[in-house]
């Protein structure tokens, strides 16, 4: 079950300038940055609020690391703007399977690794009224880390 707006993914040409725009204009601070080579993006997560399911909502600012990445091709066609929206769930595998059963194309056979160790998949925008839609299950605190505390 999808229980929150997890993030809004925004494609930009220059991550540092865009981060600075969000900081200077609204006071939003960077919560996390990473490079995801598989997705071909360098990204910054700005945490906006926490959510009633125990998660949070972020803006995800995305700069392509190569022109032939999905985000790179999208930017070349569309310019900067909202690239996708993402809903949070405890069970991305189960929800993706159920949604595929309903005839919506799910872009990955198995979820892949997204921001901050999450597991993600995408739904085809043409099956979702034009909206590229991501499903996200956040990473749990690692078992190794937890056990080290005891």
If phi > 0 it is left, if psi is from -120 to 50 it is alpha, else beta; for residue 81 that is left
The one catalytic residue in 39, 60, 63, 83 is 60
By CB under 8 A, how many residues form the interface with a copy of itself?
37
For residue 21, state whether it binds a copy of itself (rule: CB under 8 A). Answer: yes
Q: In the set 34, 53, 90, 93, which binds a copy of itself (CB under 8 A)?
A: 53
For residue 16, state whether it binds a copy of itself (rule: CB under 8 A). Answer: no
Residue placing its CB nearer to a copy of itself in the complex, 13 or 146: 13
What are the beta bridge partners of residue 87? 5, 135
Which residue reads 């997560």 in tokens? 45
Ordered DSSP codes for 83-95: EEEEEEES-HHHH
Distance CA 141, CA 17 (A): 31
Q: Which of residues 113-132 bind a copy of itself (CB under 8 A)?
A: 125, 128-131
Q: Which residues contact 1 (CB under 8 A, 6 or more apart)?
A: 89, 90, 91, 95
- Please state, as a whole number, how many other Cβ atoms lie within 10 Å of the Cβ of residue 47: 15
What are the beta bridge partners of residue 137? 119
Residue placing its CB nearer to a copy of itself in the complex, 131 or 139: 131
For residue 74, state whether it binds a copy of itself (rule: CB under 8 A). Answer: no
Least distance between a copy of itself and beta carbon 147 (Å): 30
The one catalytic residue in 39, 63, 83, 84 is 84
Q: Which residues bind a copy of itself (CB under 8 A)?
A: 1-5, 8, 10, 12, 18, 21, 24-28, 48-53, 57, 59, 79-82, 85, 87, 99, 102, 104, 125, 128-131
């Amino acid at each position: 079950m999808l229980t929150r707006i997890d993030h809004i993914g925004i494609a930009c040409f220059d991550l540092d300038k865009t981060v600075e725009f969000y900081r200077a204009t609204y006071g939003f601070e960077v919560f996390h940055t990473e490079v995801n080579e598989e997705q071909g993006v360098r990204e910054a997560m700005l945490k906006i609020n926490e959510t009633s399911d125990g998660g949070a909502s972020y803006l995800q600012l995305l700069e392509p690391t190569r022109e032939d990445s999905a985000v790179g091709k999208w930017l070349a066609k569309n310019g900067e703007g909202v690239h996708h929206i993402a809903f949070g769930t405890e069970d991305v595998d189960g929800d993706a399977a159920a949604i595929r059963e309903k005839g919506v194309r799910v872009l990955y056979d198995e979820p892949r690794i997204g921001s901050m160790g999450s597991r993600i998949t995408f739904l085809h925008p043409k099956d979702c009224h034009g909206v590229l839609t991501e499903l996200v299950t956040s990473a749990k605190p690692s078992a190794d880390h937890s056990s080290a505390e005891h």
